Amino acid sequence: MKKTVLITGAGRGIGAACAELFAKHNYKVAINYFKSELKAKQLSNTINKNGGCCEIFYADVSNPKDVKKMHEEIKSKLGNPEVLINNAGIAQQKLFTDITLDDWEKMINTNTKSVFLCCKEFLPYMIHEKKGKIINISSIWGVIGGSCEVHYSASKAAIIGFSKALAKEMALSGITVNCIAPGVIDTDMNSMHNKQTMDILKQEIACGKIGSAQDVAHTALFLASDEASYITGQVINVDGGF
C-alpha cells in the first residue's frame, strides 16, 4: 500500500524537490501551499502526468483552523499522512537593531509555530497506528547562527530543540522525529544574496559548491524509509562541509 506524505511549503524549492522525489518512490504526495498556488498546481500536474499521485492543499500552516481543515481534506483524498515534512518557512536579512516586533512574530509563526501546529494535528493518527516519520527542515543557521539573521536563526534553532525533545516522547510509539539542517542551497530563499556574497559563501564550503534542493530531498527520503527506523532525535547537516 502506498504511503502518504505531507510536505508543507512544497510549491517551490526544497519542498518541491521532496514532492517530486517522493512521488517517484511511490508515495501519495500532499503538497501544501500558501502563496505559491500556481507553482503548486504546475508541480502537481507534472507529478501526475509522470504517473505519480499528487494533490495540492491550501493552508496557512501558522493558522490552526487552516491546518485542521487541510488535514480533513488530505484524509479524504489521500488518507492520513504517515510521513510529515515540515518545510514551510521564510527568511529575512536585517541587523538585529532593525528587526521589528512584526518581523519577529512573522518569522516565529511561519517557521516555528507551523511545526508545532502540524505535529499537534497529525501526530494523534501516527500514535494510534504506532508508526510515523516526522522530518523538520531547520537550517545550518539554526546550528551555528547567522549574522544579520537573528530572528531566522532563532526560529530554526527552536525547531532543533523541538525535534530532539519530541523524538524522546514519540520513540516508544514507533515514531521517529528528525531534523535536516540545510546549508547554502540553490533556492529562491537565497536569492536575497548577490553574486559576491554567494561566492564568499561557496569558498567556505568544503565541497566547493552550492547545494541543491535535491540534496536535501534525498536525505528526507532516507529518513522517511524503513532503513532509518533506528535514527531519531538527530540533526543532519546537509551543507557540503560548510
Point out the residues that are catalytic.
Answer: 152
Longest Cα separation, the chain: 53
Q: Which of 85, 35, 87 is nearest to 60 (CA)?
A: 35
State whether residue 5 is helix, strand or coil: strand
Instruction: Say if strands 132-137 and 53-58 run parallel, antiparallel, or are unpaired.
Output: unpaired
The 10 Å CB-count burial string (b at 16+, else e) for 147-174 is eebbbbbbbbbbbbebbbebbeebeeee
The single residue listed with the C-alpha cell 524537490 is 17
Q: Which of 35, 27, 89 is nearest to 55 (CA)?
A: 27
CA distance 61 to 89: 10
CA distance 85 to 5: 7
The single residue listed with the C-alpha cell 516508544 is 172
CA distance 5 to 27: 7
CA distance 229 to 175: 9
233: left (phi over 0), alpha (psi -120 to 50) or beta: left
Cα 162 from chain centroid? 14
